[in-house]
Structures are given as structure tokens and as C-alpha cells.
């Protein structure tokens, strides 16, 4: 397995663009102006849970979504990532 899928399975960060950099901004300025962010797939809701979100029509549905997401985040691996991110701030 190569590329993005392999990094995701190992819990590694995938760097991606939030939005395209404005025209006329030199590449050397991208990092200085903070156009990029880091995405940790392990800290995102699972694909199954994301698919449930649009169906949430009431407060009760939304709270159920939040409970499930918090349960996904309660694994030792995600706690470790959150802890490391917290210490880096």
C-alpha cells in the first residue's frame, strides 16, 4: 500500500491545502502567510459517521452524532495524538 492510504493506516498526518493561495503570492510566501494546515485523519469522524451527519434533523440526533464521535476519539491512539498536539501549542 502506498501514499495517502498507507499514511492513514499508520495514523500519520496528511498535509493538504485548505484553499488555493491567492494569485500573485510567491511560493516562498505560502508558509509565512499560513495558507496551509495539517489534517490528521485519525482525529476526523469516520466515513460512516460523516454519512450520518446530514440526517441529523433534531437536537437529539445531533447529540447522538456528538456522542458517537466522542466515542471514536476515546481510543488510546487518538488520545495520544491529541495529547501530543496539545503539548505543541
13 and 53 part of one domain: no
Range of the domain at 15: 1-39
71 and 30 part of one domain: no
Confidence of residue 30 (pLDDT cuts 50, 70, 90): confident
- Give the torsion through C-alpha atoms of 43, 45, 48, 49, to 10 deg: 150
54 and 68 part of one domain: yes
Q: Shortest CA distance to 41 belongs to which of 70, 1, 78, 89?
A: 78
- The model carries a pTM of 0.54
53 and 85 part of one domain: yes
Taking 3-state DSSP, the helix, strand and coil percentages for the chain, each rounded to the nearest 5, stand at 60, 10, 35
In the predicted model, what is the mean pLDDT of residues 34-40?
Answer: 67
46 and 21 part of one domain: no
Confidence of residue 6 (pLDDT cuts 50, 70, 90): low
Amino acid at each position: 500500500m502506498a501514499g495517502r492510504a498507507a499514511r492513514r493506516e499508520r495514523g500519520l498526518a496528511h498535509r493538504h491545502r485548505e484553499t488555493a493561495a491567492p494569485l500573485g503570492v510567491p511560493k516562498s510566501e505560502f508558509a509565512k502567510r499560513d495558507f496551509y494546515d495539517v489534517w490528521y485523519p485519525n482525529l476526523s469522524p469516520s466515513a460512516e459517521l460523516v454519512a450520518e451527519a446530514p440526517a441529523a434533523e433534531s437536537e437529539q440526533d445531533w447529540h447522538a452524532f456528538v456522542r458517537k464521535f466522542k466515542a471514536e476519539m476515546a481510543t488510546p491512539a487518538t488520545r495520544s495524538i491529541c495529547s501530543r498536539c496539545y503539548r505543541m501549542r
